[in-house]
Amino acid sequence: MNIGFIGLGNMGQAIAANLIKGGHTVQVWNRSPDAARPLVELGAHAVADPGEAFAAEVVFSMLADDKALRAVLLDSGLLPRLKGPLIHVNLATIAVDFADELAELHRAQGIDYIAAPVLGRPNVAAAGQLNILAAGPAQAIDKVQPLLDLIGRKTWRLGEKASAANTMKLATNFLLVAAVEAMGEAAVLVSRHGLKPADLVDLVSNTIFTGPVYSGYGALIGERRYEPAAFKAVLGLKDVDLILAAARQVNVTLPGAEVVQGHLREAVAEGDGEKDLAVLAEVMERRNPA
């Protein structure tokens, strides 16, 4: 299949690589062209602008945020120039209302739009073991399912309304950032009592909180090792902003999310935005000097 792929950050590169390894022809584009080089070495074709990537049967996008996606697809005038048949699979975590807007704009052009945000860090993406939250036209998802099977261990279908996938992704990310926040607070508590945070992480990740969030982020907190970042704190802040915006849409209050938002803003202000989300623990350290 002829596939376009735009957005080649850590996640995008890993996902695109698996599509190439699956034997597909992949046209790749990124705002920083150097990011395409490893994929070209695998057999991808680098293109000069995103419009060339959209000259395909299926296009995957994994841009950093709403602003980047809006700039590439809407502000540039690209989407109004596109025509179906074409399927656009957006893997990024974006705002719920923006997902609804994109679905309608694609529909007007005769293009199938699938929201398909993913669960997993870059190492999970590289292994083709992502969980994919997919929503959009059923027949379009059926058509791209073999591609989704190349990049993920399971596709969770959430209906025809595209924004349903983004709502579910934001809810899961809320649970993730809340867990990292709690681990950071607990790590400071035990350290002030003369215990090792790494021992706490070992205990909980092998007993009451088994799974990749506590074992993965917990290990980073226990070792105070925040670079290289698999999920940057600044992107965590972006997601919490989206979580709270989604909550306001339906008159829901999320006090815990507001706390984490404040702590992430503090981390970014202290120059830790490019470090891993686990750097939330350092906010607690600064707030609780020994």
Residue 115: CATH number of its domain = 3.40.50.720
Q: Domain boundary residue among 139, 161, 183? A: 161
First CA to last CA distance, the chain: 58
Question: Do 131 and 171 have their domain in common?
Answer: no
Residues 112 and 146 in one domain: yes
Q: Do residue 201 and residue 267 come from a single domain?
A: yes
43, β-bridge pairs:
none
Whether residues 281 and 170 share a domain: the answer is yes
Residue 224 in this model has a pLDDT that exceeds 90: yes
* Token pair in block for residue 268: 């970014």
Task: Please tell me whether residues 183 and 143 are part of one structural domain.
Answer: no
- The percent of residues above 90 in pLDDT, for the chain, comes to 98
DSSP string, 133-147: EEBS-HHHHHHHHHH
183/179 Cα distance (integer angstroms): 6
Are 157 and 245 contained in the same domain?
no
Q: For the segment 271-282, what is each residue's pLDDT rounded down to a tens digit? A: 999 999 999 999
Q: Which residues, 6 or more positions from 273, have their beta carbon under 8 angstroms from its beta carbon?
A: 232, 233, 234, 237, 267
Section 235-259 average pLDDT: 97
Do residue 150 and residue 181 come from a single domain? Answer: no
Are 120 and 10 found together in one domain? yes
pLDDT in tens, 32-73: 999 999 999 999 999 999 999 999 999 999 999 999 999 999
Residue after which a domain boundary falls, among 129, 161, 193: 161
Residue 104 pLDDT more than 90?
Answer: yes
Q: What is the pLDDT of residue 189?
A: 97
pLDDT value of residue 209: 95
Query: Do 13 and 150 sit in the same domain of this protein?
Result: yes
Q: What is the CATH number of the domain that holds 185?
A: 1.10.1040.10
Of 21, 67, 83, 169, which is the active-site residue? 169
Residue 169: active-site member? yes
- Its domain, for residue 255, covers 166-287
Instruction: Give yes or no: residues 151 and 12 share one domain.
Output: yes
Q: What was the pLDDT predicted at 48? A: 93
Buried b (16+ CB within 10 A) or exposed e, 177-188: bbbbbbbbbbbb
- 209 and 139 assigned to the same domain: no
pTM, two decimal places: 0.94
Question: Mean pLDDT, to the nearest integer, of 80-96?
Answer: 96
Q: How many domains does the chain have?
A: 2
Same domain? For 183 and 279 the reply is: yes
pLDDT(290) > 90: no
Q: What is the mean pLDDT of residues 163-172?
A: 98
φ/ψ region of 271 (left if φ > 0, alpha if ψ in -120 to 50, else beta) reads: left
pLDDT for residue 23 is more than 90: yes
**Residue where a domain terminates, one of 161, 194, 222:** 161
